[in-house]
Chain A
């Protein structure tokens, strides 16, 4: 996780306006989801891989590794859709019958599964494009501009910040527990984990009061207002986005 987040701060596209990257991501994602052919997701995957590896300068190895993360969910779900179990062996495209119970694949299910597999990979590459090139604080700024309720963006700012603080605490506690062989058996694992969780939760209470005090000391009066770094708006980027999306949309519309 630390990986994705730290690339967001150190890639070659980090100074590009976050709205441009978000528009590009979301439009491509929608195009990919509404694709009627398997070609669209493949093109999307190629564009995003190019954007991530060539434009943003993220190592190809990292990109491939990240693309494998959702693979377990994907494989399981796609196989579940492809395979059916039925007492009626009729209509299967490929089947095995055991004691009158047929396990096999219906052809339409297989088509759905293949489409789904490629579509998901295409969409995941879009997600990675945004996540790997845009610092979270800037994504939150975009949400703020989109008039997402202020309380949500404020909570996001706080949660994002303290994820890392608590992650560090959790790692420290876990290391201490491991060094006192805290996870050797199932029982001790449960005990250690519940101690860790309640220690963290205790920290949540104390730290949140401290943070409130510190913010109050800086004249906080109910709303967290901050300035955000201005990024240059680039017409060229918007033209480029249009240039990518229009052919894809046409492909989706014309391929029936």
Chain B
């Protein structure tokens, strides 16, 4: 009995040590979202590259259409990409007390629409890989798929959907940013699980393992980012109505609804 208890204590403390270790080894959460260089086996790396390409082509088409109509928006997009990079290098306080980096997925999607975000997201990921060694070239396909495709489209869908249901502006923005972030990390977990099925339990077991590990860090980050995005939008709608209007070129109706939301 006593031996039992000692063992249990030992094991529980092991578990606690493991969780603590995650926090110590892994203080920069958002960067953890990117799959690092060389981590995916060749076949999976190639698969995600191929999966990314049609979306990028669609994004390029849509951007081209917009910038032929409004040539100054090319400069705006370029600077928005630079902004996203800088934003992701800032530290955001996480609700658990640790620190992490915003992704800007929700903010960017609501401002520029998901198609432009795919291209911007990919470019920002290239720069993060080459300038910061976060992510990589072989894993660019997978990372773009989660951060530049799934994240933005989820954000966009939720934002549009909630607006249609008549949800208040702040709630739509919060949910779009938070769930966009969460889905990005779920996608990353699925990508890792697919590439490394567990010896017992296969893909599903592996996906669950990754999701539970990342959950420690990603859920608080997603909530923090949701809050931050709402606050930024509050400032923007108060001071930058005219600029928001310019952006309707990218998003069509989505932004005019922001304007209506504010006037109402």
A195 to B136 alpha-carbon distance, docked (Å): 31
B264 interface hit (Cβ, 8 Å): no
Indicate the member of B14, B67, B95, B231 with the most A CB atoms within 10 Å: B231
Closest to B7 in A: A98
A165 interface hit (Cβ, 8 Å): yes
B201 interface hit (Cβ, 8 Å): yes
Residue from A4, A75, A209 in contact with B72 in the complex, judged by beta carbons closer than 8 Å: A209
Residue from A77, A108, A190, A205 in contact with B243 in the complex, judged by beta carbons closer than 8 Å: A205
Asked whether B123 lies within 8 Å of A32 as measured between CB atoms, the reply is no
> With A158-B81, A160-B127 as given contacts, are A4 and B132 in contact (CB-CB < 8 Å)?
yes
A94 interface hit (Cβ, 8 Å): no
Asked whether A123 lies within 8 Å of B136 as measured between CB atoms, the reply is yes
Comparing B34-42, B146-154, B159-167, B251-259, the segment that makes contact with chain A is B34-42
Q: Describe A's contact surface by its main secondary structure.
A: helix
| Residues in B neighbouring A26, C-beta threshold 8 A | 137
Asked whether A198 lies within 8 Å of B235 as measured between CB atoms, the reply is yes
| Residues in B neighbouring A83, C-beta threshold 8 A | 209
B194 interface hit (Cβ, 8 Å): no
> With A70-B36, A158-B75, A215-B75 as given contacts, are A106 and B85 in contact (CB-CB < 8 Å)?
no
Within the complex, the shortest CB–CB distance from A139 to chain B, in Å, comes to: 7
A4 to B127 alpha-carbon distance, docked (Å): 11
Which range holds the interface residue count of chain B? 35 or more
The A91-108 residues at the B interface (CB cut-off 8 A) are: 91, 96, 98, 103, 106-108
B250 interface hit (Cβ, 8 Å): no
Asked whether B63 lies within 8 Å of A109 as measured between CB atoms, the reply is no
Which range holds the interface residue count of chain A? 35 or more
> With A76-B32, A106-B199, A190-B227 as given contacts, are A202 and B243 in contact (CB-CB < 8 Å)?
yes
Residue from A1, A159, A165, A189 in contact with B89 in the complex, judged by beta carbons closer than 8 Å: A1
B232 interface hit (Cβ, 8 Å): yes
> With A75-B25, A190-B93, A190-B231 as given contacts, are A139 and B201 in contact (CB-CB < 8 Å)?
no
Closest to A106 in B: B199
Asked whether B200 lies within 8 Å of A139 as measured between CB atoms, the reply is no
10 A-B pairs closest in CB distance: A123-B38, A158-B78, A194-B231, A162-B82, A106-B199, A159-B81, A212-B72, A198-B235, A208-B76, A120-B38
Residues of A within 8 A of B (CB): 1, 4-5, 26, 29-30, 32-34, 66, 69-77, 80-81, 83-86, 88, 91, 96, 98, 103, 106-109, 112, 116, 119-124, 126-128, 130-131, 136, 139, 149, 151-152, 154-163, 165-167, 170, 174, 183, 186, 189-191, 193-198, 200-202, 204-205, 207-209, 211-212, 215, 220-222
Sample of 16 more A-B contacts, CB < 8 Å, known A80-B210, A84-B209: A26-B137, A73-B26, A76-B25, A84-B198, A112-B196, A126-B38, A127-B130, A155-B120, A155-B123, A162-B79, A165-B82, A191-B231, A197-B87, A202-B240, A205-B240, A208-B76
Can you list 27 A-B pairs with a CB-CB distance of less than 8 A? Answer: A30-B42, A33-B42, A69-B132, A70-B134, A71-B25, A72-B27, A76-B25, A80-B209, A84-B198, A91-B199, A103-B11, A119-B38, A121-B38, A149-B57, A151-B63, A152-B119, A156-B123, A158-B75, A162-B82, A170-B90, A174-B90, A190-B231, A198-B236, A198-B239, A198-B240, A205-B240, A208-B72
